[in-house]
Amino acid sequence: MKRTCEVAVVGSGFAGSLLARVLAVLGYDVVLLERGTHPRFAIGESTTPLANLSLERLAVRYGLPDCYHLATHGRWMAHLPELRRGLKRGFTYYRHHPGEPFADRGLESERLLVAASPEDALSDTHWVRADVDHHFVRRAVDAGVEYLDRTELTSAEFEDGSARLRGRRDGDALELEAGFVIDASGPDGFLARQLALPSGLERTYTRAALVFSHFDGARLMRDEAPMLPAGPYPDDWAAVHHLIDEGWMYSLRFDHGTTSAGFLLTPRGLASLVDDGSADATRLWSVLLERYPTIGRLFADAHATMPIGFVPRVQHRLTRAAGAGWALMPHAYAFVDPLFSTGIAWGLRAVERLALAFEDAASGDRKPDAATLARYDAALGEEGDQIDLVVAGAYEAVAHFDLFAAQAMLYFTSVSFAEVSQRLGAADDVSWKGFLGVGDPVLGPLARESFERLRGITRQRGAPGSAGERAEFVDWLGRAIAPRNVAGLADPERHNLYPVDFDVLMQRHALLGMTREQLLERLPALRGLGPEPRFAEPPAAARRDVASRPARGDFGPLQECAPDTNLPEWSTLKLR
């Protein structure tokens, strides 16, 4: 099979499919290549307000109403109930100690809740990736993308900024000439190997192994600690984080009762669990449940719906994100950690950026120019570093709950300030704005400073520091974030329970450079109220093109999942 196209997108996770679809809407001739098939199991499920704002902007700009509907739990239920998802009202954290049940000390408990939405209907979601990715690839095909699954690419040659991709599909040779290649193939991705892109991992700090699966029958934390004072939302309808000496565990409950859960273990934590050098996933899982009795009870009767998997290191990082004729999506370029759920938001922001770059090029070269690609490369580099510093700081801070609760405020200040600014600002300005405080004179430098201070306290050996050291850090962090703290964070009177508080926001209008009256006028937009937006019509040229293209691609029924083909070679999930 020989074919030419303007853009080849390698990998049909949500990022590749969505970008392929947007480019087709813009009138580009796009081929989407996938080595596996849909639907397929994948992890990386919890969205955030910034992710959903990206979805909304993409929806409005490129005429994709389903993306707008997927951006809140309420709209999702009303328009796409067949796609499985979970209600995510916010971020919940508990600190557990070995051999002790979680201690309910009322408002003094080691518990932090930060609401991300004021009510269920407007809330974020956990995506059942099998369903959501499947949906996005089908919509890409509807938009005119040619989708080739079961395709094993073997080489990529670049000449004069264009590419020749070779591979096999169903045993037949495939040759594709593409004006531009977007690599959305995730970790250990296609272009990293073809272009021999050097690793940049040594410039990063976060390191963690992963033990994970999906489980049926997991209990709710509220049933294990029923007397805890009420928080701003029900604790379990959130991204739940259980902090432990060895790292942390995520637990994401879907509305149909399945829970996605996994332990992220620091190298020191993993070494303390594995005394004979072998890391058997099922055994590690059992040892951790035994060591932490409350977590043990939560999962005592749960059974894994997929084999429990083990990944020795989830982090990866490259030294380049773009070049002449190619660009990497963030997950192909770098991954830090699931802590703070940055992956989907970062991926969607890159979809926006590259879509704009192709939009600008549509009447000219029909591919992003060198300056735009250099800007994209630099943005991903700085943002990868920033995510790493915020997360690595949080891993240091696990040493003591007070430190962790303070470090988390750095993340929440960055994202709440960005969210409010984005809701108030012009959509066009947003997508190139730095992620997680990058480029912000206040927030930008804080990630490194906080990380260094925490390492000073923990001596890089997990030491909790003295009460004085901790109090000083908490005090410093509160003062440092104050110029961007529009959400009333780091307030001791809240006892680590933070609702979405519009009154505080109104009081702090000056931090946004607005008068009280100006902010009051924009309040409906901030609350997510108001009529459904007008979605852009695809350009006439694109509509004509789509009609003339054959729809291609094989799809299985929604609920049957093949194993995730994107897991690295050494994943036990893949090996079984």
Ligand X SMILES: Cc1cc2nc3c(=O)[nH]c(=O)nc-3n(C[C@H](O)[C@H](O)[C@H](O)COP(=O)(O)OP(=O)(O)OC[C@H]3O[C@@H](n4cnc5c(N)ncnc54)[C@H](O)[C@@H]3O)c2cc1C
Q: Is 323 in the site for ligand X (CB under 6 A)?
A: no
* Span near ligand X by CB under 6 A; candidates 27-35, 219-227, 295-303, 411-419: 27-35
Q: How far is the CB of 208 from ligand X (least distance, A)?
A: 9
* Span near ligand X by CB under 6 A; candidates 14-22, 199-207, 463-471, 507-515: 14-22
* Span near ligand X by CB under 6 A; candidates 86-94, 338-346, 392-400, 544-552: 338-346
Kindly write down the DSSP assignment for every residue of 85-120, as one continuous string. Answer: EEEE-EEEEEE-BTTBPPP--GGGSSEEEEESSSSG
In the list 295, 329, 373, 490, the residue contacting ligand X (rule: CB under 6 A) is 329
Q: Is 210 in the site for ligand X (CB under 6 A)?
A: yes
Q: What CA–CA distance (Å, rounded) separates 156 from 330? A: 20
Q: Is 7 in the site for ligand X (CB under 6 A)?
A: no
Q: Is 565 in the site for ligand X (CB under 6 A)?
A: yes
Chain centre distance of CA 436: 12
Contact characters 232-271, ligand X, x per CB under 6 A: ------------------------------x---------
Q: How far is the CB of 337 from ligand X (least distance, A)?
A: 8
**What are the CA-CA distances from residue 422 to residues 213, 416, 429, 432, 505 (Å)?**
35, 10, 9, 12, 15
Q: Is 553 in the site for ligand X (CB under 6 A)?
A: no
CA 201-310-9 angle, 5° bins: 60
Helices and strands (DSSP H and E) totals, the chain = 21, 21
Residue with tokens 């043990």: 296
Tell whether omega for the bond before 39 is within 30 degrees of 0, i.e. cis.
yes
CA 512-443-459 angle, 5° bins: 150
Closest-CA residue to 17 (of 563, 553, 556, 561): 553
SS3 2: strand
Q: Which is nearer to ligand X, 84 or 453 (CB)?
A: 84
Residue 393 amino acid letter = G
Q: Is 487 in the site for ligand X (CB under 6 A)?
A: no
Q: Which is nearer to ligand X, 153 or 270 (CB)?
A: 153
* Span near ligand X by CB under 6 A; candidates 39-47, 95-103, 433-441, 543-551: 39-47
Q: How far is the CB of 332 from ligand X (least distance, A)?
A: 7
Q: How far is the CB of 96 from ligand X (least distance, A)?
A: 19
Sequence-distant (6+) residues with CB within 8 A of 301 are 217, 219
Q: Which is nearer to ligand X, 42 or 357 (CB)?
A: 42
Closest-CA residue to 259 (of 217, 296, 222, 290): 217
In the list 5, 7, 9, 12, the residue contacting ligand X (rule: CB under 6 A) is 12
Q: How far is the CB of 47 from ligand X (least distance, A)?
A: 6
Question: By the 8 A CB rule, do 246 and 270 touch?
Answer: yes
Question: By the 8 A CB rule, do 122 and 71 touch?
Answer: no
Find the Cα–Cα–Cα–Cα dihedral 95, 97, 99, 100, rounded to 10°: -60
In the list 26, 33, 60, 191, the residue contacting ligand X (rule: CB under 6 A) is 33
Tokens encoding 444:
């930008």
Q: Which residue is nearest to ligand X (CB)?
A: 44
Q: Is 284 in the site for ligand X (CB under 6 A)?
A: no
Find the Cα–Cα–Cα–Cα dihedral 172, 178, 182, 188, rounded to 10°: 40
Residue with tokens 């916010």: 90
Q: How far is the CB of 148 from ligand X (least distance, A)?
A: 9
Q: What CA–CA distance (Å, rounded) separates 501 from 333? A: 36
Question: By the 8 A CB rule, do 447 and 453 touch?
Answer: no
Q: What CA–CA distance (Å, rounded) separates 98 from 245? A: 8
Q: Which is nearer to ligand X, 380 or 490 (CB)?
A: 380
Contact characters 71-110, ligand X, x per CB under 6 A: ----------------------------------------
Backbone angles phi, psi at 434, to 5 degrees: -65, 145
In the list 7, 19, 46, 310, the residue contacting ligand X (rule: CB under 6 A) is 46
HSE, side-chain direction, 13 A CA sphere, residue 227:
7
Q: Is 16 in the site for ligand X (CB under 6 A)?
A: yes
* Span near ligand X by CB under 6 A; candidates 41-49, 240-248, 283-291, 485-493: 41-49
Q: Is 344 in the site for ligand X (CB under 6 A)?
A: yes
Tell me which residues in 126-185 interact with ligand X (CB under 6 A): 153, 184-185
Determine how many CB atoms are found less than 10 A away from the CB of residue 202: 7
In the list 29, 34, 245, 383, the residue contacting ligand X (rule: CB under 6 A) is 34
Q: How far is the CB of 468 from ligand X (least distance, A)?
A: 35
Tell me which residues in 406-435 interact with ligand X (CB under 6 A): none
Question: By the 8 A CB rule, do 272 and 285 touch?
Answer: no
Closest-CA residue to 397 (of 292, 183, 243): 243
Q: Is 58 in the site for ligand X (CB under 6 A)?
A: no
Q: How many chain residues bind ligand X (CB under 6 A)?
A: 35
Determine how many CB atoms are found less than 10 A away from the CB of residue 474: 18
* Span near ligand X by CB under 6 A; candidates 35-43, 318-326, 427-435, 526-534: 35-43
In the list 338, 381, 553, 563, the residue contacting ligand X (rule: CB under 6 A) is 338
Tell me which residues in 364-393 interact with ligand X (CB under 6 A): none
Residue with tokens 């796609």: 83
- Polymer length of the chain: 576
Chain centre distance of CA 359: 25
Q: How far is the CB of 477 from ligand X (least distance, A)?
A: 24
Q: Which is nearer to ligand X, 31 or 329 (CB)?
A: 329
In the list 249, 265, 314, 446, the residue contacting ligand X (rule: CB under 6 A) is 314
Q: Which is nearer to ligand X, 192 or 221 (CB)?
A: 192
* Span near ligand X by CB under 6 A; candidates 34-42, 196-204, 265-273, 415-423: 34-42
Q: Return residues touching ligand X (CB under 6 A).
A: 10-16, 33-36, 42-46, 153, 184-186, 190, 210, 212, 262, 314, 329, 331, 338, 341, 343-345, 347, 565-566
